[in-house]
Amino acid sequence: MVILMYVRLSQMREGERGTVVDVRGGHRARQRLLGMGIAPGTKIVVIKTGFPGPYIIALGSTRLALGRGIAERIIVRREQ
Partner 1 sequence: MNECHDLKYISKNKKQGLRVIALAGNPNVGKTTIFNGLTGLRQHVGNWPGVTVEKKEGILKYHDKEFLVIDLPGTYSLTASSIDELIARNFLLGSNADVVVDIVDSSSLMRNLFLTMEIFEMGIKNVIIALNKIDIAKKRGISFDVKKMEKVIGVPVIPTNAKSGEGVEELKAMISGMAEGKATTNPITPIYDEPIEQEIGHISGVLSETPLAQWYNVRWLAIKLLTRDQEVIKLVLNYLGPKKMDEILIHISELERYYKHPLDIVIANQKYEFIDKLMHQFVIHFGEVHETFSDCMDKILTHPLYGIFTLLGVFYLLFKFVFTIGTPLQEFLDNTFVSFGQLIAPHIGNETLRGLIVNGIIGGVGSVLSFFPLVFLLFVAMSILEDSGYMARAATVMEKIMRIFGLPGKSFIPMVLAFGCNVPAIMSTRTLEDERDRILTMLVNPLVPCSARMVVITFLTGVFFSKHKALVAVGIYAISLFLALLSALILGKFVIKGEESPFVMELPEYAIPSWKIALIHSWERSKEFLRKAGTVILFGSIAIWYLSSYPQAMGSGLSYAEKLGKVFEPFTMLMGLDWKAAVSLIFGIIAKENVIATYGVIYGIGENEEALIMLMRVAMTSLQAFVLALVTTLYIPCIATIGAIRAEGGNKWATVAVIYNLLLSSIIGVLVYNIGLFLGL
Q: Which residues bind partner 1 (CB under 8 A)?
A: 15, 17, 22-23, 25-42, 45, 47-48, 52-54, 56, 58-67, 69-70
> Given the complex with partner 1, which of 48 and 78 has the nearer CB atom?
48
CB-based burial of residue 72 (10 Å sphere; 0-12 exposed, 13-18 middle, 19+ buried)? middle
> Given the complex with partner 1, which of 33 and 76 has the nearer CB atom?
33
3-class state of residue 13 by DSSP: coil
Question: Nearest distance from residue 3's CB to partner 1, in Å?
Answer: 21
Question: Nearest distance from residue 1's CB to partner 1, in Å?
Answer: 26
Report yes or no: 77 and 12 within 8 Å, Cβ to Cβ. Answer: no
CB-based burial of residue 58 (10 Å sphere; 0-12 exposed, 13-18 middle, 19+ buried)? middle
Question: Nearest distance from residue 5's CB to partner 1, in Å?
Answer: 18
